[in-house]
Chains A and B, each alone.
Chain A
Amino acid sequence: MSKPVIATTSLAGCFGCHMSFLDIDERILDLIELVEFNKSPIDDIKSFTKDCDIGLIEGGCCNTENIHILKEFRKKCKILVSFGECAIMGGLPAMRNDIPVKECLAEAYLSGPSTVNEEGILPNDEELPIILDKVYPCHEIVKMDYHLPGCPPRADLIWEVLHALILDVDIDLPYELIKYD
């Protein structure tokens, strides 16, 4: 039987959740025995080369590219996991959600105290993804199967959950592992 395949990505996140993933330390050697990685910053595969079993999503959706990638993950992965506070509720990027996008862009590109932009141009290249009206949690865009809270999710939580998903067994998570910060 071939190994289960894992894909991961960071949308509107800070890569902290991926860092926490690496905090499983030497267990990563066990993980490599158990699974194969596909599209992920961990092995630097940029696009899907096959269908995957588990997709880990860090970060919420703040622009059209995030939505595109998230939908692609939904198509390619059997199980999709929201991984960290940003994927679950938007997290710190969502702090802009009660500010109109126009004001956010003006603060960043026009009126910020350290900004030099004499022509007053906002980023408008057609290659750039378009920023959304607000930052959306992943489960408000596509169906997510599991949620792992934490900022970042504890390494032990990531390990326990991945291990259980790979081996298809039930788990009883200890109280200390589920934290929102």
Chain B
Amino acid sequence: MEKKIAHFTIDNKECTATTGVSIINAARENGIFIPTLCHYEGVKPAGSCRVCTVKVNKRHLTACTTPVAEGMEIEVDTAELNDLRSSVIELLFTEGNHYCPACEKSGNCELQALAYRFGIMAPRFPYQFNERDVDASHPKIYHDHNRCILCKRCIRIIKDEKDLPAGSQGRSIFAFNQRAKKVKIKLDDRLGKELSDELAQKAMDICPVGSILVKETGFKTPIGQRKFDKEAISLDNSINLKAMKEAHHE
């Protein structure tokens, strides 16, 4: 099938991309960064965090779930939208218990990196201090529910692919347990027991916060050399760039 090219504008800049790709990728092709949090390249977008919210023809839409189309007028880097993104990040910081000084992921954490990028000095919302627990029962990983932002990346990305017929998707090893305020991520009882070292490491790497941690590996990188210590999160160092490269290798 012939690929159709869409013409659209981002912050008044003329852009082109293949019709149907997500606004995030269309922007990337034109060198424009849209901040994301739950989005992971190559898996079905969830649109759960709303950090990538943009304005398309004056309406708010999530850039990860909206395909680009001919004639769209997209706003990305405006004061109003950046304030909206900042408020989403502040909500996440006050809803969970994010003690950055005591977190192994600090410096490599995408939630923290976004807060740095938006220059958040203190959140505008009151802290909730909700009661959450830490599950250290698994032999390979910790699960710190204080930090979980329920982005579903682990559910969407970490799959068991053993003994499966070709073409099928694999079973999720992580899942949501319970509902509403009580909802939390849980490992599948049987598949979790067989979690390989590679998948455990991958789960830690793709977790945007410090909720999934591989045991006995903490604080490896010294302060000053961590991913976001010197560089703000951007197109060049976002996890989606890495995911994209991996997808191309396959």
* A interface majority secondary structure: mixed
Residues of A within 8 A of B97 (CB): 95, 97-98
- Determine which of B106, B122, B131, B229 lies in contact with A147 in the assembled complex, contact meaning CB atoms within 8 Å: B122
Q: How many interface contacts (CB-CB < 8 Å) are there between A and B?
A: 69
User: What's the Cα separation between A50 and B230 when bound, in Å?
Assistant: 41
Contact of A178 with B106 at beta-carbon distance under 8 Å, contacts A91-B101, A140-B126, A140-B127 already known: no
> A178 to B102, Cβ gap below 8 A?
no
Residues of B within 8 A of A181 (CB): 100-101, 103, 106-107, 223
Say if the beta carbon of A137 comes within 8 Å of chain B: yes
**Number of B residues contacting the other chain (C-beta, 8 Å)?**
27
- Which listed residue, A134, A139, A151, touches B122 by the CB 8 Å rule? A139
C-alpha gap A63/B107 in the complex (Å): 32
| CB < 8 Å neighbour of A180 from B112, B130, B230 | B112
Q: How far is the CA of A82 from the CA of B123 in the complex (A)?
A: 13
Residues 84-142 of B at the A interface (beta carbon under 8 Å):
93, 97, 99-103, 106-107, 112, 115-116, 119, 121-123, 126-127, 129-132
Q: How far is A90 from B93 in the complex, measured between Cα atoms in Å?
A: 13
- Which secondary structure dominates chain B's binding surface? loop
B21 at the interface (CB under 8 A from A): no
Task: Output the residue of B99, B112, B119 with the most chain A CB within 10 A.
Answer: B99
Taking CB atoms, residues of chain A closer than 8 Å to B229 are 176, 179
For the complex, is A146 an interface residue (Cβ under 8 Å from B)? yes
| Interface mask (A104-138 → B, CB under 8 Å = 1, otherwise 0) | 00000000000000000000000000000010010
Q: How far is the CA of A148 from the CA of B100 in the complex (A)?
A: 14
> Known interface pairs A91-B99, A91-B101. Does A178 touch B121 (Cβ–Cβ under 8 Å)?
yes
Nearest residue (CB) in A for B121 is A147
- Closest chain-B Cβ to A176's Cβ sits at a distance in Å of 6
Which residues of the partner chain B approach A176 to less than 8 Å between Cβ atoms? 229-230
Judged by a CB distance under 8 angstroms, whether A88 is at the interface is yes
Residue of B nearest to A138 (CB): B122
Is the C-beta of A85 less than 8 angstroms from some C-beta in chain B? yes
Residues of chain B within 8 A of A175, CB atoms compared: 116, 230-232
Q: Inside 8 A of B101's CB, which chain A residues have their CB?
A: 85, 91-92, 151, 180-181
Contact B127 A89 (CB under 8 A): yes
The answer to whether A94 has its CB under 8 Å from any CB of chain B is yes
Query: Are B122 and A82 in contact (CB-based, < 8 A)?
Result: yes
Q: Interface 1/0s, chain A 138-152, versus B by CB < 8 A?
A: 011000101111010
Residues of A within 8 A of B230 (CB): 175-176
Residues on A with C-beta less than 8 A from B231 are: 175
- In the complex, chain B residues whose CB is within 8 Å of the CB of A95: 97, 99, 102
Compute how far the CA of A178 lies from the CA of B116 in the bound complex, rounded to whole angstroms: 7
Chain A: CB-nearest residue to B101: A151
Q: Is the Cβ of B121 less than 8 Å from the Cβ of A179?
A: no
Instruction: Give 3 closest A-B pairs by Cβ, nearest first.
Output: A151-B101, A180-B100, A98-B131
Give B contacts to A, CB under 8 Å: 93, 97, 99-103, 106-107, 112, 115-116, 119, 121-123, 126-127, 129-132, 223, 229-232
Q: Interface residues, chain A, CB within 8 Å of chain B? A: 82, 85, 88-92, 94-95, 97-98, 134, 137, 139-140, 144, 146-149, 151, 175-176, 178-181
A-B contact pairs, 30 of them (CB 8 A): A82-B122, A85-B100, A89-B99, A89-B122, A90-B127, A90-B129, A91-B99, A92-B101, A94-B129, A95-B97, A95-B102, A97-B129, A98-B130, A98-B131, A134-B129, A137-B127, A140-B126, A148-B121, A149-B121, A151-B101, A175-B230, A175-B231, A178-B116, A178-B119, A178-B121, A179-B229, A180-B100, A180-B101, A180-B106, A181-B101
